[in-house]
Amino acid sequence: MNWCVAETVSYTLFINSGIYTAVDSAQFPASAFNLTAEFSPENARIIASSGDTIHLRIINNDSLVHGFSIDDKVPLLNIAVGDTEEVEFHFFEAYIASIYYDPLAYPTNVALGLAGMIYIAPSHASTFYWNLKEFNKSWASILATGNSVDWANYYPDYFTVNGRSNPNINLDSNARIVGSVGETIHIIIANTGQSVHSLHFHGYHAQILYASESPNYVGRIKDTFPIKSMQTMILELIPDKPGEYPVHDHNLVAVSAGGIYPNGMFLTMLIQ
Ligand SMILES: [Cu+2]
């Protein structure tokens, strides 16, 4: 790869709706931006280098009109049922994590799952990705049929990382951190849920390389990282000892699914 020459990076995203099967076998409607016309609860990751032309084709494979936007980058595109829209954009900075999403009826379509992450990757570091979401099972059916809910009384009951809950997050090699002592590890985090998620690392501290909410956070070395709704953060972890340690949401309700603990936002880091 030539690191000096910007390239065109192309993705085709399908807006799909489907039925999500949670870790406890509960099922509810959900939507996602996927790389194929088949619904998967994990939204596609868009990864490019700074200066690259990012070319997206977005196909609305659902039975309702959908939108697409990236704050400060791509204004709202409306995509009719069965239509395709195309857009091109660039990020000229490195170490940026951003969120693409469907802003229509906000936050309804995001709450159904339509939000994924973009990472502008300069790094040769070992990289992991956590797209944090939560769902209210009974609301999902209401939202999917175009009805409204009272967001002031939002109490989500399913919590996922890349569409999975514990113990299945460790099966996702893009999420579960596996590395070695002294290795530089980067963790790209997008909170595409509606709640704050506060990730607590056991065993290690990490340093904030990027925080969409405030540049003042950059450089802080901590073990707990609160991330607000629709914000992103990039962490650097250089493990100082071997071991297997957990990472989980410090808000313990987010470590559950359908009221069962610890079936939510919980995974481990395996350092050898
Ligand atoms: Cu903890």
Q: Which residues contact 35 (CB under 8 A, 6 or more apart)?
A: 11, 12, 13, 14, 44
- Expressed in angstroms and rounded, the spacing between residue 199 Cα and the centre of ligand 1 is 8
- Expressed in angstroms and rounded, the spacing between residue 166 Cα and the centre of ligand 1 is 15
- Expressed in angstroms and rounded, the spacing between residue 202 Cα and the centre of ligand 1 is 6
Of the candidates 141, 140, 132, which has an alpha carbon nearest to the alpha carbon of residue 255? Answer: 132
- Expressed in angstroms and rounded, the spacing between residue 3 Cα and the centre of ligand 1 is 39
- Expressed in angstroms and rounded, the spacing between residue 250 Cα and the centre of ligand 1 is 6
pLDDT of residue 141: 96
Of the candidates 56, 21, 57, 15, which has an alpha carbon nearest to the alpha carbon of residue 37? Answer: 15
Query: Which whole-number Å values give the CA distances from 209 to 94, 217, 229, 232, in the listed order?
Result: 11, 8, 19, 11
d(CA 93, CA 214) in angstroms, rounded, equals 16
- Expressed in angstroms and rounded, the spacing between residue 253 Cα and the centre of ligand 1 is 13
- Expressed in angstroms and rounded, the spacing between residue 138 Cα and the centre of ligand 1 is 29
pLDDT of residue 124: 79
pLDDT < 70 stretches in the chain: 1-4, 123
Collapsing DSSP states into helix, strand and coil, what is residue 57?
A: strand
Instruction: Look at the pTM and tell me if it is higher than 0.75.
Output: yes
pLDDT of residue 1: 46
pLDDT of residue 122: 78
Residue 205 CA, chain-centre distance (Å), reads 21
- Expressed in angstroms and rounded, the spacing between residue 251 Cα and the centre of ligand 1 is 9
**Strand runs labelled E in 53-101:** 53-60, 66-70, 74-79, 84-89, 96-101
Q: Which residues contact 1 (CB under 8 A, 6 or more apart)?
A: none
- Expressed in angstroms and rounded, the spacing between residue 111 Cα and the centre of ligand 1 is 26
- Expressed in angstroms and rounded, the spacing between residue 53 Cα and the centre of ligand 1 is 40
- Expressed in angstroms and rounded, the spacing between residue 247 Cα and the centre of ligand 1 is 7
- Expressed in angstroms and rounded, the spacing between residue 36 Cα and the centre of ligand 1 is 36
- Expressed in angstroms and rounded, the spacing between residue 248 Cα and the centre of ligand 1 is 6
Q: How many CA atoms lie within 13 A of 105 on its CB side?
A: 16
- Expressed in angstroms and rounded, the spacing between residue 161 Cα and the centre of ligand 1 is 16
Question: Which DSSP helix (H) or strand (E) runs through 104?
Answer: none
**Strand runs labelled E in 35-176:** 46-48, 53-60, 66-70, 74-79, 84-89, 96-101, 115-120, 126-135, 158-161
Copy the structure tokens of residue 149.
Answer: 């809910």
CATH class, 8-271 region: mainly beta
Q: Is 243 exposed, middle or buried (0-12, 13-18, 19+ CB in 10 A)?
A: middle
d(CA 211, CA 96) in angstroms, rounded, equals 9
pLDDT of residue 4: 59
